[in-house]
Amino acid sequence: MKKKSDKKITEKQLPKRILVTLDQSGYGISVLRVAAGMAAKLQGELLGLLVEDINLIRLAELPFSREVNLFEEGGYHLCLDSLEKQLRSQAERLRHNLASIAGQQKIPWSFRLARGRLAAEIMAVMREVDVLIMGQMQGLFPQPLRLSSTLSERRPLPANDLLTQGFRQPIMVFYNGSLSSGRALKTAALLVRKNGERLIVILPAVEPARLLELEQQVVNWQQQTQLQLRFMSLLNNDISALVQLGKGRYGGALILGQDAFLLDELSITTLLDYPNCAVVLVK
């Protein structure tokens, strides 16, 4: 009986409308699958957002713009027509991916295409949803080196065991005692693949007593989940410190409540630049 009421509370507290930023990289598709799996588990709805960067459009209109990459020496001219075509084709492809993955999970879905600054567009849509999952390669830096199979791999996850596999290790969650951080904690528990895996709990930069108190709250909660925990704490309560702490932990996910930090365009941009790690914002 007790279990049933717990479950009710959990369902009530967990988000139902999930926004996922779309990205054509393999990792972006994996994130989309995880988001779809989460929506299916929560009987929620999936909203896919693709933002075409306005800066790119402008760049393409400049007469000297050249695109440089590893394989073509000297690069090549970036023209608007070609870019537009690429963007249309990309949008179609991602919409198709979204439809296909959501179809597999039998969940309602919608696709939204926007043109502008990524962070601004995300912020605009964020108001409509309960959770935001950002997993695209938006950072400037190229894909990090994957030197060993023990580290996370940017390989699409199989569709049939989405949420059970979820993100690769490590899963990090920021907990500051707020309601949304509590929900972030529960969402993190959903994403941890199986019992016995470790959840990294990041605590805010607070007084030691408060830190202990927060830690105890998490431990109390942990006793129901059987997850293994590891605690870390921030040096400063800002997004940059959070990003710094997660640096190098490629391929996992960072989950935090929406009210954890002041979420403006700059902080969203910072999180988008969070190197190679999905960021899940929970209301």
Judged by beta carbon, residue 79 or residue 179, the one nearer other proteins is 79
Judged by beta carbon, residue 21 or residue 138, the one nearer other proteins is 138
Q: Is 43 left (phi over 0), alpha (psi -120 to 50) or beta?
A: left
Query: Minimal distance in Å, beta carbon 12 to other proteins?
Result: 36
**Other CB atoms within 10 Å distance of the CB of residue 74:** 6
Query: Minimal distance in Å, beta carbon 112 to other proteins?
Result: 20
Query: Minimal distance in Å, beta carbon 47 to other proteins?
Result: 23
Q: Which residues bind other proteins (CB under 8 A)?
A: 53-56, 58-59, 61-62, 64-70, 73-75, 78, 83, 86-87, 90, 117, 137-142, 144-151, 155, 247-248, 250, 275
Distance CA 266, CA 41 (A): 32
- DSSP-derived letter for residue 200 is E
Residue 164, CA distances (Å) to 102, 157, 160, 168, 258 in order? 17, 10, 9, 11, 25
Distance CA 24, CA 189 (A): 27
Distance CA 10, CA 187 (A): 10
Query: Minimal distance in Å, beta carbon 103 to other proteins?
Result: 22
Q: 217, 138, 145, 136: which is closest to 176 by C-alpha?
A: 217
Under 8 Å between Cβ of 10 and 183: no
Under 8 Å between Cβ of 243 and 271: yes
Distance CA 16, CA 163 (A): 15
Residue 112, CA distances (Å) to 50, 101, 172, 233 in order? 6, 16, 28, 37
Query: Minimal distance in Å, beta carbon 272 to other proteins?
Result: 11
Judged by beta carbon, residue 8 or residue 198, the one nearer other proteins is 198
Query: Minimal distance in Å, beta carbon 252 to other proteins?
Result: 13
Judged by beta carbon, residue 192 or residue 260, the one nearer other proteins is 192
Judged by beta carbon, residue 196 or residue 208, the one nearer other proteins is 196
Judged by beta carbon, residue 23 or residue 130, the one nearer other proteins is 23
Tokens at 76, concatenated: 């090549």
Query: Minimal distance in Å, beta carbon 3 to other proteins?
Result: 32
Judged by beta carbon, residue 131 or residue 227, the one nearer other proteins is 227
Judged by beta carbon, residue 90 or residue 104, the one nearer other proteins is 90
Query: Minimal distance in Å, beta carbon 198 to other proteins?
Result: 11
Tokens at 256, concatenated: 């935090």
Whether the link from the prior residue into 158 is cis, omega within 30° of 0, is no
